[in-house]
């Protein structure tokens, strides 16, 4: 699976909001799907970061949704976090815990 998106970033004092749209490709279909979504990062005291990510795509009646919510801790130029992920591929629902590492350049 791959995605190519473009969008806009809206920075606020303690919040960064990203809105995007693009295409999503998968091994299931020979054509790419239109996708859209949002990401929000809320910067809390004590170097904590709450992050929410949502990506949606559709192919006629089928819908694909990727949702994650995590709490991270900023260390220098990295973010280490734990959270929950929910992925829906058509009628199949996969969900569970997630661990994440993000590097900022």
pLDDT at 44: 96
- Average pLDDT of the segment spanning 33-54: 94
pTM over 0.85: no
pLDDT of residue 88: 93
| Burial class of residue 90, CB neighbours in 10 A (0-12, 13-18, 19+) | exposed
Q: Of 45-49, 72-76, 89-93, which range is least confident?
A: 89-93
Q: Band of the pLDDT at 90, cuts 50, 70, 90? A: confident
Task: Kindly compute the dihedral angle of the four CA atoms of residues 35, 56, 101, 25, in this order, to the nearest 10 degrees.
Answer: -50
Q: Tell me: pLDDT of 96 over 90.
A: yes
Write out the E strands in 1-105.
2-11, 15-25, 33-44, 48-59, 62-75, 78-89, 92-103
Q: Tell me how far apart the alpha carbons of residues 95 and 85 are, in angstroms, rounded to a whole number.
A: 5
Mean pLDDT of 42-56: 95
End-to-end C-alpha distance for the chain, whole angstroms = 25
- In the numeric block, the tokens 């190519």 are attached to 4
Confidence band for 95, pLDDT divided at 50, 70 and 90? very high
DSSP 104: -
Question: Residue 53: its pLDDT value, please?
Answer: 96
């Amino acid at each position: 699976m791959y995605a190519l998106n473009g969008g806009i970033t809206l920075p606020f004092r303690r919040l960064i909001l990203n809105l995007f749209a693009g295409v999503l490709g998968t091994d299931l279909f020979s054509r790419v799907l239109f996708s859209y979504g949002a990401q929000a990062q809320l910067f809390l005291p004590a170097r904590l970061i709450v992050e929410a990510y949502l990506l949606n795509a559709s192919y006629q009646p089928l819908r694909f949704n990727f949702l994650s919510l995590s709490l991270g801790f900023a260390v220098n130029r990295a973010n280490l976090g734990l959270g929950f992920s929910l992925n829906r591929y058509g009628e199949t629902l996969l969900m569970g815990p997630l661990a994440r590492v993000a590097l900022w350049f």
